[in-house]
Structure 1
Amino acid sequence: MLGGINNSLFLISLSGFAVVAVMIVILKWAFSRNKSIIEKNKKLGTADQYGLLKVAHSPKNHIEGEMLRQKLLEVGIKATLTQTVEGPKLLVFEKDLKIAKATLNS
């Protein structure tokens, strides 16, 4: 007890501020986005490195690929056009693969 007052309440309130300050620092670090000025090099992969996505078509260029992707979107099939080592590929989920190939062939 300094000066005749109970300092425990004062110290408890200061420790609360310290805990909040530490939590603020941790949360700012955890939820910060990577704001690097230098763009990372893009890595091209093969068509089998895209997990659940399978190749539905191999267009000649991105313009043709985008037209085919829009055709699939019109019938309700989600499609992704990406650049691979072998060239542009139109990728769909495996459950939609047969329908996508039939749609693209018609």
Structure 2
Amino acid sequence: MYGDGTSYLLSVVVLLLGFGVMLLFLRWTFSSGKSLVQRRPRQGGENEYGLLVPVASPPTMIEGEQLRLRLDASQIRAKLVQTTDGPRLMVFENDAKMARTVLAAPPPPPSANL
């Protein structure tokens, strides 16, 4: 009288396929880690910087930059970061001992070539 049920079966299959396509689209849309847009940097504690270890805790970023430039003059790679604990001068663990030695020495006098 109303057919053999193939139209009902076909409508269920089309509905399930549509739902599956929608799920794949939503999974692709909200997946993490594959975005072309860079994430906003966030501040972390001084122990959250991977291979970098803190060697100095300057009171201000300006004094921290001066210390970083002293390390740079000694050819020690350093990064000044603003952590949740305040500014920190970070170096690689292999360079930490040398960096502390350089920072413990008195700063060189300013040059007279002005």
Q: TM-score band, normalised by the shorter chain?
A: 0.5 to 0.7
Letter in 1 for 2:44: G
Q: TM-score, normalising length from structure 2?
A: 0.58
| Aligned-partner Cα distance in 1 for 2:57–2:82 | 10
Tell me the equivalent position of 1:73.
72
Q: Deviations over 1:31-84 (max 9, x none)?
A: xx83x6xx9654210011101100010000000000000000000100000000
* Structure-2 separation of matches of 1:40 and 1:95: 29
Counting aligned pairs with the same residue, the percent is 41
**SS at 2:64's partner residue?**
helix
Query: 1:18-97 residue pairs with structure 2 within 5 A?
Result: 34=36, 41-97=40-96
What is the Cα-based RMSD across aligned positions, in Å?
1.7
Determine the structure 1 residue equivalent to 2:100: 101
Distance of 2:103 and 2:57 partners within structure 1? 11
What stretches of structure 2 of length at least 5 have no aligned partner?
A: 1-34, 106-114
Residue 95 of structure 1 aligns to a residue whose secondary structure is helix
Higher helix share: 1
Amino acid at match of 2:45: T
One-letter amino acid of the counterpart of residue 48, structure 1: N
CA distance in 2 between partners of 1:62 and 1:40 (Å): 24
